[in-house]
Amino acid sequence: MKLDSAIDANKTRNFFQTNGNHGKYPKRNRPVGGGEGWWWTSGMGGSGEVHGQVDGFDNVPFVASGADDQALHDDICTGKAFKDMLAEASQELANFPV
């Protein structure tokens, strides 16, 4: 199927948790283009991935539980919020004109 126009989202929802976010003051190995100062980070697989609100989105915070930052992420992305994301995506796809 080829769309005649760009997709225009009716919903922009961000499901997130912030329990695994931490601050650090790196003296070197800062993020690309980053200056000196405090940076958000996490212990997720060495990537330092953090979670939070997205401007312009309907932000839906969740409280995660887990033993470490990766477990907190997984609790949301494969558990609590994932079920809500799947339900919303399924509903939107069902309404998509064929």
DSSP 12-56: -EEEE--TT-EEE--SSSPPTT--SS-EEE--STTTT------TT
Per-domain residue ranges of the chain: 16-94
Note the pLDDT tens digit of each residue in 7-28. 466 777 777 777 777 777 777 6
What pLDDT is recorded for position 32?
A: 67
Rounded to an integer, what distance in angstroms lies between the CA atom of residue 15 and that of residue 59? 6
Cβ distance 37 to 1 under 8 Å? Answer: no
Note the pLDDT tens digit of each residue in 41-82. 777 766 677 778 877 778 888 888 888 888 887 887 787 778
Which tokens sit at 4? 């005649």
